[in-house]
Every structure is written in C-alpha cells, then in structure tokens.
A and B are shown apart, each in its own frame.
Chain A
C-alpha cells in the first residue's frame, strides 16, 4: 500500500503539488487525470522518490520512505518519450534493470524472454532501439519496467506519442500485463476517455490539487465540483448560470417548468447548470424538451460525429451529435436539452444535483 499524506511540493514560488492525500492498494489500477501542467508528472516524481516533498509524508505499508534512495524503492517508470539505452540491443535493454540488481544469468534470460514474448518483441531482441518503430520502442520500455517486478509502476502518458491504432492496442494490454505482478499501477493521462477505458480508480488533478479520487466511473458520473467535472469532460461541459424559483428554472429568457423531482426539491436560488456535449440535441424529442436558441460558430465533422460550436446567450457551448449534420457559421439554430441530464452546482461550484440515471454509479 502506498500512501501520500498531505504532500506538498514547492519549487521557488510555485506550488506544484498542493496538499495531496492519496492511498493506493496493491494490485490496483489508478489513473491520474488532468490537463498538462496539472501536476501529474510532479506527483509521480514524488512517488518515485526523484523529488522530495516540501511537506507531508509518503508511506509504503505504513513506513515512511522519504529517506529511502530511489534505487532502493523498487519503482519502474515508463515515459511519454520512448526511453531506452541507445547503445543497447532490445535484449540488453530489457535485461538492464536485472543486471543492475545482480540477477543470475539463467533467471535473467528466462525473464527477458517471457517479457519479450508478452510484449511481442521476441523477433526484435537483437535490434537496436532506433531500428524499431515507435510502438516497439515503447514496448521495449514497458518490458524493462515489467521485468523489474517493481512494487510501484508509474506510467506517465505512455501512449501519448503513439499513433491511434497502437494506442488502442496497448491501452487494452497494459493493465493486463501488469495485473499479474501485483504492483500498484499508476497511469497519467490528459484524456478523459482514456481514463474511462482503463477503469480502475481515478484521481482528477487541477493546478496541483487532487479534486476527487474514487472509482473512475463514479468520478465521471458524480463529479463533486465543477472543476472535476471539467477535468473529466472532453469537449468541456456546457455551463449556464440559472435561477431556480418555485417549480421553474430560468436562464436567459427561457423558462423550464417541467423539471425533475430532485431538482424541484432543491432550495430556490442561483445555480450553475452543466450538461455534457452529447446530451444536447439538434432535434427535439420527448426527452429533449427544452429549446435553446444559439448561433453557430464553427462545426467539425469527424465522420461519425459532428461537433457544433455555438454561442448560446453569451455562453460558448459545444454540441456533440451522431452522424453528419451540415450547419453554417452564423446560422441560427435551436438546441434541445434534456432536463434530466442536467448537473447543478451551487455558488461554490460544489455538486448539488447529478442526473438520476447515473446517481448509483
């Protein structure tokens, strides 16, 4: 078990990590989700022991490891760049951590070949790293991390520099590969959908703070703050300030009378409503009953989906809809919102209402 207790890291005048407390169990898969510069790498460096926290404690199985040197920590790390020893063959690269640890030759050979087999590198064992494709280079780096049989495996955006197809493949394989080792697996990513695909637990990071930590799907469905919600949404949540009065929600010049029971139970007052881009519709339906006027900014068609960027009463919104829809910049369109898909946050941006169908997680 790895535990971070009130850990902060200050560099100069900047607070890179702000009072973080996290607990990871053996054999667990954990995602660190946050935009660039949110502190994912800083946090990993602290866990690995490459940096010392300015305050707070890091404990493994209840014992502080702050005084322990990196090489004694039994940590493995894989980076966004493909890091291998440039002058070593793939075989020697995979063997390198064991050679440093003094593992005997027969055992070393067996483990290298097992790892190479698992990562489909067997036929490339004699090659030099730069003779490999990016995916194979990263597989080599992963194999190196694997043979180390580390207690803590840190994967810092390991797939970010790979092309789409390889990324899909490796993302499925990675958790499986490390699952048998019983290591604590940490995976840093900027992409919400990657966190969802990986599952496990997620910690959302924003400006050096952990805003929420829990089962990935729970964090996604019940973000406790607007910040967490935005970190875990790509494209971002569409937000609008609204007022609840009696049985009605008012925003701009629209009134919504037919509101869900649970929202009706809230106190009257000002709220921030947020709705996911794919919960907006370009066509009315029984559920999508609230109409909002908007002006089209731009639209992007990915093939199976259309992103429409609009200006709705001064709010910049994005609509994500299935299929190809042609809309022209400057065109006035009507969007339809399903009131049941609304998240509501109070004036402190804390969650007060999540959509019913997700509430159980």
Chain B
C-alpha cells in the first residue's frame, strides 16, 4: 500500500468556509432548533420542553390542512407546468429570427419580482376593475377570488403557471437544442413518426434537464409565500394558507415561537427529504444514460 502524504495545513485553508457556513447556516438553524425544544416567556428565560412542540404541531389539524394544501398546490403546479413547458419548448422554432423573440418573451415573467407578480395579479383578477376578473364575470362566470376559495386557488395556480412555466420551457428548450440534427434524420430514415421521435429521442435526451426543472419547480412551489400572500393573504378564510404562510402567521402573527420553530424544522426536513430523493434519482439516471 502506498502511504498517503498527510498535510494538516489543508484544514487551515478550510476554516474561512467553515466560518461562513457556520454564520449563515448552522448558527441560525441551531437557533431554530433551540426554540423548537424550549419555551420562553421573557427574554433570557427558557424552559426545556423536549418534543412537546413537535407533538403539538404534528397532531394539530391546522398543520395537517396547511400541509395538505401545500402538497395539492405543488402537485397541481408540477402537473401543469412540466408538460406545458415541454409542449411550448417543442413548439418553439429551432432556427431563424423568431428564436430570440421567443426566448425574450419566455424570459420576461422570470424577471419580475415575486411581490410585483402578486400585486399585478391582485389587480388583474379583481372582479370589478381587473381585466381578468371583469372579463370572467362578463363571460358569465361568477368569479371573485377574495371570497371564493375555488376562485382563489384558480388565480394562485394561474399566476404561478404564468410566472414559472417559462423556466421549464427554457430548460426543456436547452435540452432540445442539444440534440444534433442527425438524430432527426436518422429517425426519419428509420420511418419513425412524430410521437416516436418525441418518445424515443427527445424525451430521453431531455431527461436530465427535466429532472432539474422538476426539482426547481418542486422546491419553489413548495416554499411559495410571497405571491399568495400579496394576492389573498392566505384567504379567503384559510383556503390558500400554504405551509410558509401558516408558519409566518404562527411566528409573527401569534408569536408562538416554539410551534413556529418546530414547524420550520419539519418543513426543512421535508424539503431536504424530497431533494435527496430527487438527487438519488438523478445520480441513478446518470449511470443509466
């Protein structure tokens, strides 16, 4: 066996990174962990509570329904945005002057800040003065997102689709552009039809970018806060109170620091778990293709 040279000085070079990571990740996280297992009544006075807050959160129907809403929302978002994004990318021109026009149009929604998107749609969807709200009512739909949960959901989903489908489009388009023209020729010579080309060439070639798109859209929609907050503030009632909105309500609105901290940790673990699942899937895909 060859002896490895040991150079302890390398640890020294890692210190700055450790310092920064400690400052911006570990310390805040540990503070939250601290809060989640203690109770406090005044600054500096803490009582150890163990898993009390966790038990309370996990058994509360309020958390269950927020979590349920969150998963439903994310599922709807992924089910719409991923296929729609791929479809738009397929329909976009591959060459010519229209390529840049399409790309710019696609990138525009991505450049708009979250709260501005929320404010835009807030006004756009108002039933009395908003173009969308007024138009829908004029067409005979009874639509008022400030009062009807279904209308609120419809608006939030539509807003997110408008805001973020472009990301999927751009990623899928990048995947499509990397396919050499010879693949299409080969398929044509083989006598493969349009669907076979999509199923056996384009989809496998887009697999990796689509997994990335799925991961990004999952994380983003799972953590959605600003847009529904600006649009409806989580209402009407609690109908669009997703996890992060619920969390902020608990922490800032009700000042239940223990509950909020326990929720944060659970929230964090869920996101981490799903990301880990995606990551392993991605790595396995790497071996296969």
Residue in A45, A83, A100 whose CB lies within 8 Å of B191: A100
Assess whether A278 is interfacial by the CB under 8 Å rule.
no
Interface string of A323-342 (1 = CB under 8 A from B): 00000000000000000000
CB distance from B66 to the nearest CB of A (A): 39
Q: Is the CB of A128 within 8 A of B288?
A: yes
Q: Collect the chain A residues with CB atoms within 8 Å of residue B183's CB.
A: 83
Cα-based distance from A80 to B185 in the complex (angstroms): 13
Q: Tell me which residues from 182 to 204 in chain B have a Cβ below 8 Å from any Cβ of chain A.
A: 182-183, 185-186, 188-192, 196, 200-201, 203-204
Q: Is the CB of A100 within 8 A of B190?
A: yes
Assess whether B289 is interfacial by the CB under 8 Å rule.
yes
Whether A130 touches B180, Cβ cut-off 8 Å, given contacts A85-B200, A100-B191, is: no
Assess whether B205 is interfacial by the CB under 8 Å rule.
yes
Q: Is the CB of B182 within 8 A of A88?
A: no
Q: Is the CB of B185 within 8 A of A85?
A: no
Interface string of B161-185 (1 = CB under 8 A from A): 0000000000000000000101101
From A71-79, A168-176, A227-235, the one touching the partner chain is A71-79
Residue in B186, B196, B200 whose CB lies within 8 Å of A79: B186
Whether A86 touches B186, Cβ cut-off 8 Å, given contacts A100-B192, A101-B191, is: no
Cα-based distance from A100 to B289 in the complex (angstroms): 23
Residue in B180, B200, B201 whose CB lies within 8 Å of A81: B180
Assess whether A70 is interfacial by the CB under 8 Å rule.
yes
Q: Is the CB of B204 within 8 A of A87?
A: yes
Q: Is the CB of B186 within 8 A of A70?
A: no
Q: Is the CB of B180 within 8 A of A87?
A: no
Which bucket holds chain A's interface residue count?
A: 20 to 34
CB distance from A124 to the nearest CB of B (A): 15
Q: Is the CB of B289 within 8 A of A87?
A: yes
CB distance from A18 to the nearest CB of B (A): 22
CB distance from B272 to the nearest CB of A (A): 30
Q: Collect the chain A residues with CB atoms within 8 Å of residue B201's CB.
A: 85-86
Assess whether A160 is interfacial by the CB under 8 Å rule.
no
Q: Please, which residue of chain A has its CB at the minimum distance from the CB of B186?
A: A83
Whether A83 touches B182, Cβ cut-off 8 Å, given contacts A128-B289, A130-B289, is: yes
Which bucket holds chain B's interface residue count?
A: 10 to 19
Q: Is the CB of B189 within 8 A of A70?
A: yes
CB distance from A2 to the nearest CB of B (A): 15
Q: Collect the chain A residues with CB atoms within 8 Å of residue B200's CB.
A: 85, 87-88
Cα-based distance from A75 to B188 in the complex (angstroms): 10
Interface string of A79-108 (1 = CB under 8 A from B): 111010111100000001100110000000
Q: Collect the chain A residues with CB atoms within 8 Å of residue B192's CB.
A: 100
Assess whether A50 is interfacial by the CB under 8 Å rule.
yes
CB distance from B114 to the nearest CB of A (A): 37
CB distance from B226 to the nearest CB of A (A): 39
Whether A50 touches B188, Cβ cut-off 8 Å, given contacts A83-B182, A85-B201, A87-B200, is: yes
Q: Is the CB of B182 within 8 A of A50?
A: no
Q: Please, which residue of chain B has its CB at the minimum distance from the CB of A72?
A: B191
Cα-based distance from A85 to B204 in the complex (angstroms): 9
Q: Collect the chain B residues with CB atoms within 8 Å of residue A77's CB.
A: 185-186, 189
CB distance from B191 to the nearest CB of A (A): 3
Cα-based distance from A208 to B172 in the complex (angstroms): 36
Q: Collect the chain A residues with CB atoms within 8 Å of residue B289's CB.
A: 86-87, 128, 130
Assess whether A43 is interfacial by the CB under 8 Å rule.
no
CB distance from B281 to the nearest CB of A (A): 16
Q: Is the CB of B180 within 8 A of A83?
A: yes
Q: Please, which residue of chain A has its CB at the minimum distance from the CB of B287?
A: A131
CB distance from B165 to the nearest CB of A (A): 25
Q: Please, which residue of chain B has its CB at the minimum distance from the CB of A85?
A: B200
Assess whether A205 is interfacial by the CB under 8 Å rule.
no
Q: Please, which residue of chain B has its CB at the minimum distance from the CB of A99?
A: B190
Q: Collect the chain B residues with CB atoms within 8 Å of residue A96's CB.
A: 190
Q: Collect the chain A residues with CB atoms within 8 Å of residue B205's CB.
A: 86
Interface string of B197-228 (1 = CB under 8 A from A): 00011011100000000000000000000000
Q: Is the CB of A50 within 8 A of B186?
A: no
Assess whether A318 is interfacial by the CB under 8 Å rule.
no
Assess whether A48 is interfacial by the CB under 8 Å rule.
yes
Residue in A76, A86, A128 whose CB lies within 8 Å of B189: A76
Interface string of B263-288 (1 = CB under 8 A from A): 00000000000000000000000001
Q: Please, which residue of chain A has its CB at the minimum distance from the CB of B201?
A: A85
Whether A70 touches B204, Cβ cut-off 8 Å, given contacts A77-B185, A130-B289, is: no
Question: Given contacts A50-B185, A79-B185, could you give 5 more A-B pairs where the C-beta distance is less than 8 Å?
Answer: A45-B185, A71-B188, A85-B204, A86-B201, A128-B289
The 5 A-B residue pairs with the shortest CB-CB distance, nearest first, are A71-B191, A87-B204, A86-B204, A79-B182, A83-B186
